């Protein structure tokens, strides 16, 4: 039985493997990484097969998931391409900003490519993964890729041209960043740290969760929570005047720019 193989045993591999095991995925999972300690931890905690040899890991693969940082992708794929005994398999790159033509250039047929952008919330089965497929990837292979990621959360398919903007928009870092900022702002005004955390988490998480579970338009909920002339409206207006939207657009633009730098590697 061919395995699901992860090349790179870092943060996102740990999240995905953990989510797959939570979903009772019982198929063989092989992880290759250059740090034996990372392999030992993944083996102990998630019952993966640790494979320190790159070519043996690739040999074992049906799905080959490339989970190294973008600046490591080229050397890794070139190293794989030097190996003689290659057979058809499905390559799935998680590398932010790394386009399909690059992947095909460094490691072409019989490897056929998909890109996936998963969330670390896959660890708890609450992920969201964007997928995009190379034109030469057959429909059966696409189904296999969708099926794997749907075990750890929702899956959507995007045109590759939207991938970078999706990547910088869906990151859970937005929520954590906003939470940390709101807590710090409340503490600076003298609110007890525990109360500030409770209040900020309610503000950011509870309303949005309730909105997702219902069908009220977002605008209506904003109106409901912010009485005209009241405190919440004063806060929102002051934040908008200080450039709230502008800051978000600048943040996303910087992220997209960073992702596009990976295209040039």
Residue ranges binding ligand NAP (CB under 6 A): 8-13, 32-35, 38, 67-70, 72, 75-76, 94-96, 117-118, 120
Q: Is 20 left (phi over 0), alpha (psi -120 to 50) or beta?
A: alpha
Closest-by-Cβ residue to ligand NAP is 10
Q: How far is the CB of 67 from ligand NAP (least distance, A)?
A: 5
Least distance CB 105 / ligand NAP (angstroms)? 17
**57 or 183: CB nearest ligand NAP:** 57
Q: Do 30 and 89 contact (CB within 8 A), yes or no?
A: no
Spatial separation of the C-alpha atoms in residues 17 and 7, rounded to whole Å? 12
Toward ligand NAP, which CB reaches closer, 58 or 68? 68
Find out whether 4 and 27 touch, Cβ atoms under 8 Å. Answer: yes
Cα atoms found within 13 Å of the Cα of residue 51, Cβ hemisphere only: 22
Per-residue burial over 131-166, b if 16 or more Cβ lie within 10 Å, else e, is bbbbeebeeebbebbbebbebbbebeeeeeeebbeb
Which of residues 89 and 116 has its CB atom nearest to ligand NAP in the complex? 116
Contact 130, 157 (CB under 8 A): yes
* Shortest Å distance, C-beta 18 to ligand NAP: 12
| Minimum CB–partner distance for residue 65 and ligand NAP (Å) | 9
Query: By C-beta, is 122 or 196 nearer to ligand NAP?
Result: 122
Residue 90's alpha-carbon distances to 6, 86, 256, in angstroms, are: 12, 12, 27
Nearer to ligand NAP, 137 or 259 (CB): 259
Residue 169 CB, nearest distance to ligand NAP (Å)?
A: 13
Angstrom distance (rounded) from CA 45 to CA 142 = 29
Please measure the distance between the N-terminal and C-terminal CA atoms of the chain and give it in whole angstroms.
35
Q: Of 196 and 259, which CB lies nearer to ligand NAP in the complex structure?
A: 259
Minimum CB separation of residue 206 from ligand NAP in Å reads 24
């Amino acid at each position: 039985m061919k395995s699901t193989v992860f090349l790179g045993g870092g943060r996102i591999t740990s999240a995905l493997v953990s989510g797959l095991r939570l979903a009772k995925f019982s198929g063989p999972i092989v992880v290759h990484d250059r740090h034996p300690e990372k392999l030992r931890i993944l083996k102990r905690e998630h019952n993966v097969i640790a494979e320190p040899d790159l070519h043996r890991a690739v040999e074992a693969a049906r799905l080959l998931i490339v989970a190294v940082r973008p600046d490591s992708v080229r050397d890794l794929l070139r190293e794989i391409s030097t190996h003689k005994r290659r057979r058809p398999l499905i390559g799935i790159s998680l590398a932010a900003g790394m386009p399909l033509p690059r992947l095909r250039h460094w490691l072409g047929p019989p490897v056929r490519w998909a890109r996936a952008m998963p969330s670390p919330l896959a660890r708890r089965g609450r992920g969201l993964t964007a997928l995009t497929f190379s034109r030469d990837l057959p429909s059966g292979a696409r189904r296999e890729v969708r099926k794997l990621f749907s075990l750890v959360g929702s899956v959507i398919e995007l045109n590759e041209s939207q991938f970078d903007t999706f990547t910088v928009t869906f990151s859970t870092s937005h929520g954590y960043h906003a939470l940390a900022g709101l807590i710090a702002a409340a503490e600076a005004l003298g609110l007890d740290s525990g109360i500030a955390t409770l209040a900020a988490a309610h503000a950011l998480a509870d309303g949005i969760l309730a909105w997702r579970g219902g069908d009220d338009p977002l605008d209506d909920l904003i109106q409901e929570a912010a009485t005209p002339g009241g405190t919440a409206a004063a806060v929102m207006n002051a934040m908008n005047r200080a450039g709230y939207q502008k800051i978000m657009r600048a943040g996303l633009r910087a992220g997209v720019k960073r992702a596009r730098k990976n295209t040039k590697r």
